[in-house]
Amino acid sequence: MSLLVNLAQLARQAVCLEGRIAPADWDLDPHDELLAISSPVTYSLTVRKQGKGILVEGSLRTELTCACARCLKEFRQALDRENLALYLPLEGEDQVVIRHECVDLTPYLREDMVLALPQHPLCEPGCSGLPSAPPGQVQEPGGNRQPPGRLSEWAALDQLKL
């Protein structure tokens, strides 16, 4: 789905847009293991012509399903982009793409939302991470534990002299 704004209509008056967009329509990285959009993105936007560009103001809201970057516990987190303000130039080097007198706002809103996503989501600020291995066991990368005396598959690499 695209959020299209007609430039001829903007020349006469501001346009108010409200609605919801399904998570799949945002085209975010499906291979991100730490977060995903879990509910539709609700938007409330006012778009107006301003000088040689258009000004988009409003808010975006959704809910994320995250995996903690330290302990991998799954949790939900709200993503609220209050006081959103985007200026999109209609002329010059950075001008927006205009097709049939319309501008598609979706890629610019997507970019703003991606920049607001947490880079390292944490279930709580003081998360201590995965539990450490009990005494007498070796913790391998990936969380596999082995009893002492049994060397891991990686031990042979430790013996290499480079």
Is the distance from CB of 122 to CB of 68 less than 8 angstroms? yes
85-100 in b/e form (b: 16+ CB < 10 A) is ebebebeeeeebeeee
- pTM here is 0.71
Residue 68 lies in a domain: yes
The DSSP H or E segment spanning 107 is helix 106-116
Strands (E), 15-132: 15-21, 35-37, 41-50, 53-67, 74-89, 98-99, 102-104
Comparing 58-67, 83-92, 124-133, the range with the smallest average pLDDT is 124-133
Asked if 27 and 56 sit in the same domain, the reply is yes
Give 88-114 pLDDT, tens digit per residue: 999 889 899 888 899 999 889 988 888
Question: What is the pLDDT, as a whole number, of residue 159?
Answer: 80
Domain with 138, as residue range(s), is 132-162
Question: What is the pLDDT, as a whole number, of residue 126?
Answer: 87
Asked if 148 and 73 sit in the same domain, the reply is no
Give 58-82 pLDDT, tens digit per residue: 999 999 999 998 998 999 999 999 9
Domains identified in the chain, total number: 2
**Looking at the predicted structure, is the pLDDT value of residue 29 above 90?**
no
Residue 121 lies in a domain: no
Asked if 145 and 105 sit in the same domain, the reply is no
